[in-house]
Amino acid sequence: MNALVCAHLRLLAAWLAVTPPADVPEVSGELERLRVLAWQRALDAQAPPAPEAAEYLTIPQVAERLRLSKSFCYELTRRGMLPSHQLGQGQRGLRVKLAELIAWEATRAKDSS
C-alpha cells in the first residue's frame, strides 16, 4: 500500500475516534460503499482483456493460413464446417476466431492421421 493511502487511512481512523455515535451508521454505510468499490477495482484488474481485432481472421487470411482457396473457405463456413462469426455486412464481415481455427486445424489433423 502506498504512503498516501496509509496516511489517509490514519486520518480516517483518527476522525472516526471523535465521530459522534449518532453519525456512525452513516459513516459505516459510506465505508461499506468504498469497500465494495475497492473490491470491484481489484476484480476489474484481474479480468481478462477485451477481445482484440487480431483474434479474428478474415476469410482471405484463413485461406492463406490453410493453403486453400478463398471460395472453398467461404463454402466451409456456409456449410457450418468451419466456425465463423458475422461481424459486418456480407461476406466481407465474416470472421473466424483464431482460437477456433487452431482447434479446427487440430481436429482436421487428427482426422487425417
Nearby residues of 85 by Cβ (< 8 Å), 6 or more positions away: 56, 94, 95, 96, 97
DSSP one-letter code for 81: S
Q: Is the pTM of this model over 0.85?
A: no
Distance, CA of 62 to CA of 65 (rounded, Å)? 5
Q: What is residue 113's predicted lDDT score, i.e. its pLDDT? A: 66
pLDDT tens-digit readout, 48-92 = 655 555 689 999 999 999 999 999 999 999 999 999 999 888 878
Higher pLDDT, 106 or 50: 106
Please provide the distance, in angstroms rounded to a whole number, between the alpha carbons at the two ends of the chain.
56
Q: Which residue has the higher pLDDT, 87 or 47?
A: 87
The CATH architecture that domain 53-112 belongs to is Orthogonal Bundle (1.10)
Instruction: Report the pLDDT averaged over residues 4-22.
Output: 85
For the chain, which residues make up each domain, given as ranges? 3-46, 53-112
